[in-house]
């Protein structure tokens, strides 16, 4: 059995990077010429100069809330907010609605969401029958998995969500080889099958998404005869990363360029540091450039033991949007980053909010090297200037703040 989906997965890292950097200027030019949103966002950018990671990092990050705001502002003329390079008709197969609502287009390309590679890594092959329990209602989740299964030569049973008894009957009678859907619903199916005596033993593998898959739950599935893998995909971007048989993080898909940035900024963090996942997708139909997912993760060092040579991430590690209301004022990670940038001695900062509701206390913990005596006082003044709130400053040794991606920690008592 082939170990890899295609040769792209095992190409040399330098070859992959050269291909990405050659594609970037074309992508930027295409997005500027064919989408109203990026014509505005990148209006001052010379596409030919965006040919390195450093140049990419200088472009603005577009976060999900900004995409929604642009869509809302242009609902009457363009429900996609100027981000889609294709229009309704023969180039657009479907349109979807995600919570917000945010509307996403689907182009006509085979495996448009690039999910076949992840399914292959999870053991799916041509001829398999896939029990697809993602929702087929409005959102693209089911179609993301379905298009990848079709590209592999699989047959799909469109189970959707709910109706557990009917789904178990279909599994018992159709005998599918594998499952796609959330891990929580797969557990419901397994538990209900054990309770009712329905035979679902034909399903030996699964590709899950939409939720975290903790090791304890993976082990529980293994005890019940299921080899379960996780994927990381979004309605905007399709597949971003997928798990392999090595079970050591998630390998990035070949169709995306991923950066990990400090929450609230567009600044890439060092390898291993937790930050926000920012994705540039090489999709000419929906060319999102530096799209902030709002998810936290970190780069893992070294290649995957499965032989796939692309970068690995740790997987989903929480949400990056840590905006917090303090004494009636919203404080967001970008403000903390703004404060830290003003002082070259500051290596890392973390705002800790403590106390009880209506009696908030705000402390900015700062990692600093050789700190001048008045650094704390000057940082305190910057806190007041940026947030309009008073806060304490605590200087801590370099490396002492947790590596969890948190820029704002809400430690208040809500009793």
Fold of the domain spanning 324-410:
GMP Synthetase; Chain A, domain 3 (3.30.300)
158-162 mean pLDDT: 94
354-358 mean pLDDT: 70
Residue 333 confidence (pLDDT): 87
The helix-helix angle for 215-223 and 183-196 (nearest 10°) equals 30
Phi-psi region of 307 (alpha: psi -120 to 50; beta: other; left: phi over 0): left
Residue 157 confidence (pLDDT): 98
74-126 confidence digits (pLDDT tens): 999 999 999 999 999 999 999 999 888 999 999 999 999 999 999 999 999 99
213-242 confidence digits (pLDDT tens): 889 999 999 999 999 999 999 999 999 999
Inform me whether the pLDDT recorded for 404 exceeds 60. yes
pLDDT range class, residue 414, cuts 50, 70, 90: low
pTM: 0.86
268-288 mean pLDDT: 96
Helix (H, G, I), strand (E, B) or coil at 347: strand
List Cβ<8 Å contacts ≥24 apart for 173-177.
174/129, 174/131, 175/129, 175/202, 176/128, 176/129, 176/130, 176/131, 176/202, 176/203, 177/124, 177/128, 177/129, 177/130, 177/202, 177/203, 177/204, 177/205
Q: Where along the chain do its domains lie?
A: 13-319, 324-410
Inform me whether the pLDDT recorded for 1 exceeds 50. no
165-193 confidence digits (pLDDT tens): 999 999 999 999 999 999 999 999 999 99
Q: Return the closest-CA partner of residue 241 out of 290, 302, 314.
A: 314
Q: Say which residue, 266 or 2, is predicted with more confidence.
A: 266
Mention every residue, 6+ apart, whose C-beta is less than 8 A from residue 359: none
CA distance 95 to 288: 16
334-353 mean pLDDT: 92
Fold of the domain spanning 13-319:
Rossmann fold (3.40.50)
Q: Give the bridge partners for 352, in sequence order.
A: 363, 409
């Amino acid at each position: 059995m082939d170990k890899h989906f295609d040769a792209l997965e095992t190409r040399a890292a330098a070859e992959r990077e050269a291909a990405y950097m050659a594609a970037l200027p074309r992508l930027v030019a295409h997005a500027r010429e064919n989408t109203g949103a990026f014509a505005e966002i990148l209006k001052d950018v010379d596409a030919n100069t965006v040919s390195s990671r450093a140049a990419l990092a200088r472009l603005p990050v577009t976060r999900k809330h900004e995409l929604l705001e642009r869509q809302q502002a242009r609902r009457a003329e363009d429900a996609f907010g100027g981000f889609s390079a294709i229009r309704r008709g023969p180039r657009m197969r479907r349109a979807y609605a995600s919570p917000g609502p945010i509307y996403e287009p689907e182009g006509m390309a085979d495996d448009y969401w690039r999910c076949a590679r992840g399914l292959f890594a999870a053991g799916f092959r041509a001829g398999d029958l896939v029990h697809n329990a993602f929702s087929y209602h409005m959102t693209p989740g089911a179609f993301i998995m379905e298009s990848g299964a079709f590209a592999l030569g699989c047959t799909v049973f469109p189970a959707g969500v709910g109706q557990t008894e009917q789904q178990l009957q279909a599994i018992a009678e159709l005998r599918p080889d594998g499952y796609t859907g959330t891990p929580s619903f797969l557990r419901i199916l397994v538990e209900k099958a054990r309770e009712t005596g329905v035979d679902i033993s034909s399903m030996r593998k699964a590709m899950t998404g939409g939720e975290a898959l903790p090791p304890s739950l993976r082990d529980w599935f293994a005890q019940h005869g299921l080899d379960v893998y996780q994927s990381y995909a979004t309605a905007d971007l399709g597949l971003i990363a997928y798990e392999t048989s090595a079970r050591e993080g998630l390998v990035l898909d070949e169709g995306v360029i991923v950066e990990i940035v400090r929450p609230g900024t567009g600044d890439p963090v060092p390898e291993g540091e937790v930050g926000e996942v920012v994705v540039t997708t090489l999709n000419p139909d929906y060319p999102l450039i530096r799209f902030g997912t709002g998810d936290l993760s970190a780069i893992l060092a070294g290649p995957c033991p499965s032989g796939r040579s692309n970068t690995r991430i740790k997987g989903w590690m929480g949400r990056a949007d840590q905006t917090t209301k303090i004494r009636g004022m919203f404080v967001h990670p970008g403000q903390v980053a703004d404060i830290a940038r003003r002082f070259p001695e500051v290596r890392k900062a973390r705002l800790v909010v403590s106390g009880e509701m209506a009696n908030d206390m705000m402390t900015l913990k700062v990692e600093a090297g050789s700190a001048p005596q008045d650094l704390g006082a000057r940082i305190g003044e910057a806190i007041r200037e940026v947030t309009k709130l008073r806060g304490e400053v605590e200087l801590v040794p370099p490396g002492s703040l947790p590596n969890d991606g948190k820029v704002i920690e809400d430690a208040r008592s809500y009793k």
